[in-house]
């Protein structure tokens, strides 16, 4: 066969192996990877059978194999490196050889993996989750994104802007939490990405958001298909950090193997349709809820299972209001409030009493951390827990955490110097029903001592509940 015929055979084989139609786009960013400023003469485009077929008839085949190797694998993913321009013919030949091997059935090769129809739902940032891979300028009007698929790996609708850190918007200088780029959602706009997940498994999404407008802003988050395909509303009116950026979490149960994750900004009755929140650092984490044990009837009482926290993120992750019908990014726990949150923190950036994770109560009386547990009426129960501070300058003498059940409550004081520490306490009560709610909330409002206005509060961790049923009275027979 001629060189062109071999290319054509390869295109047919690749289309068979990779039937999805994938448009040329930028390479898959791995966790922590930044997009290069300029690809220069490197071939670094993803692979698809349809894409390869369109580039025959003497035009360059914009696909390559890894440097110095042919990688056999199952139908999964792989990461490939840029190919220098001067070596492209060598790599084309290797590509053709690999295609012939597929045609002969000796080896099923995945020759390029960046062109996945859906991002894998593994722990870490979504594909281009920090938006550092920029849209083509021909698909933009100033900062506005004009084409639905202009931002690599994302689909946009409505008034969406691609912004750069340091740019001015009126009297405001825009900043982003990671890298140099983010997106801003105007009125009735959205961004979405397809995710490859495991059906029936629970996942948590984390993303950072900053307000830019004075009106009450709310974001809607959903997956399709999902529970009735109804979006959950996240209130972002309150700013909890001095930087203006907060990280939010949201969770879902996968109904299918591929879902579309959507962040939507509705109509906030703003005069300027471009006015809306800025979004950055979108990540996912598979949740593995622990089970209750005889030594602890509470699920996830140590808070070790929870949403993804971006490495280097100094402000933790906010867990929004969650009721009984919602999937919680903090397994086992509900957040009861109209519009306030609790903060999920880690030992890498804060002081926690036990393990690597804990919860900070940052919204005073307006929010409660709740778990409902099955109990035996009349059983004697002991609830144990730790109360402390996160070493974030949240000083108060004292902070108070209110602990309550249906048959008892307690106010636990803690004198905080804002440098870290905790106290251990307990609440004894008698269960009076088949289920008992355990409730924690802060009785005061606090801000950090640096005068920045950052909201803070007492930390709750290492919560355990043990109940012992009373023995039944025995009748003496004569």
pLDDT of residue 118: 55
Distance between CA atoms of 404 and 442, rounded to whole angstroms?
12
pLDDT, residue 168, reads: 80
Give the architecture-level CATH label for domain 293-478. Sandwich (2.60)
Per-residue model confidence (pLDDT) at position 171: 73
Question: What pLDDT does residue 194 have?
Answer: 97
**What is the C-alpha separation between 303 and 359, in angstroms, rounded?**
7
pLDDT of residue 407: 84
Phi, then psi, of 100 in degrees rounded to 5: -65, -35
Q: 114 near 22, Cβ under 8 Å? A: no
Nearest alpha carbon to residue 10 among 94, 134, 115, 76? 94
Burial classification of residue 444, based on how many CB atoms lie within 10 Å of its CB (0-12 exposed, 13-18 middle, 19 or more buried)? middle
Residues 113, 116, 122, 126: is their CA dihedral positive or negative?
positive
Q: Where in the chain is the domain with CATH 2.60.120.260?
A: 118-287, 293-478
Per-residue pLDDT, 235: 84
- Residue 214 has a pLDDT of 67
| CATH T-level assignment (fold) for domain 118-287 | Jelly Rolls (2.60.120)
pLDDT along the chain (478 residues), means of 10: 40 36 42 40 36 38 36 36 48 45 34 40 88 95 95 96 86 82 93 96 95 78 81 87 91 95 83 84 94 93 96 90 85 94 96 97 96 94 97 94 93 96 96 94 94 94 93 55
């Amino acid at each position: 066969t001629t060189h062109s015929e071999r290319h054509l055979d390869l295109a047919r084989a690749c289309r068979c192996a990779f039937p999805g139609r994938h448009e040329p786009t930028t390479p898959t960013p791995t966790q922590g990877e930044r997009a290069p400023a300029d690809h220069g003469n490197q071939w670094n485009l993803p692979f698809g059978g349809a894409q390869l077929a369109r580039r025959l008839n003497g035009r360059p085949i914009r696909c390559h194999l890894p440097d110095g190797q042919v990688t056999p694998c199952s139908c999964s993913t792989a990461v490939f490196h840029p190919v220098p321009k001067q070596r492209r013919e060598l790599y084309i030949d290797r590509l053709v050889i690999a295609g012939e091997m597929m045609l002969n059935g000796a080896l099923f090769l995945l020759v390029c993996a960046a062109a996945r129809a859906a991002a894998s739902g593994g722990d870490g940032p979504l594909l281009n989750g920090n938006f550092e891979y920029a849209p083509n300028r021909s698909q933009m009007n100033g900062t506005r994104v004009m084409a639905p698929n202009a931002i690599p790996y994302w689909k946009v609708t409505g008034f969406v802007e691609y912004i750069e850190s340091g740019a001015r918007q009126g009297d405001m200088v825009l900043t982003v939490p990671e890298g140099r780029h983010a997106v801003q959602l105007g009125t009735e706009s959205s961004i979405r990405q397809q995710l490859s997940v495991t059906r029936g498994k629970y996942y948590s999404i984390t993303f950072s958001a900053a307000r830019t407008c004075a009106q009450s802003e709310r974001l809607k988050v959903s997956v399709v298909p999902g529970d009735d395909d109804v979006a959950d509303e996240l209130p972002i009116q309150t700013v909890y950090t001095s930087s203006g950026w907060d990280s939010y979490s949201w969770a879902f149960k996968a109904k299918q193997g591929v879902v579309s994750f959507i962040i939507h900004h509705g109509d906030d009755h703003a005069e300027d349709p471009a006015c809306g929140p800025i979004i950055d650092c979108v990540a996912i984490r598979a949740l593995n809820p622990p089970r209750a044990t005889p030594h602890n009837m509470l699920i996830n009482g140590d808070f070790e299972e929870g949403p993804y926290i971006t490495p280097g993120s100094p402000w933790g992750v906010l867990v929004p209001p969650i009721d009984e019908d919602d999937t919680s990014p903090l397994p086992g726990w509900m957040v009861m409030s109209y519009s306030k949150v609790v903060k999920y923190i880690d030992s890498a950036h804060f002081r926690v009493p036990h393990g690597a994770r804990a919860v900070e109560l940052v919204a005073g009386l307006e929010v409660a951390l709740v778990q409902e547990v099955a109990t035996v009426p009349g059983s004697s129960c002991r609830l144990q827990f730790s109360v402390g501070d996160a070493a974030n300058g949240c000083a108060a003498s004292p902070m108070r955490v209110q602990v309550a059940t249906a048959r008892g409550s307690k106010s636990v004081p803690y004198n905080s110097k804002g440098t870290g520490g905790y106290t251990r306490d307990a609440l004894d009560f008698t269960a009076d029903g088949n289920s008992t709610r355990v409730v924690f909330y802060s009785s005061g409002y606090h801000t950090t001592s640096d005068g920045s206005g950052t909201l803070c509060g007492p930390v709750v961790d290492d919560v355990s509940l043990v109940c012992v049923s009373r023995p039944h009275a025995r009748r003496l027979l004569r």
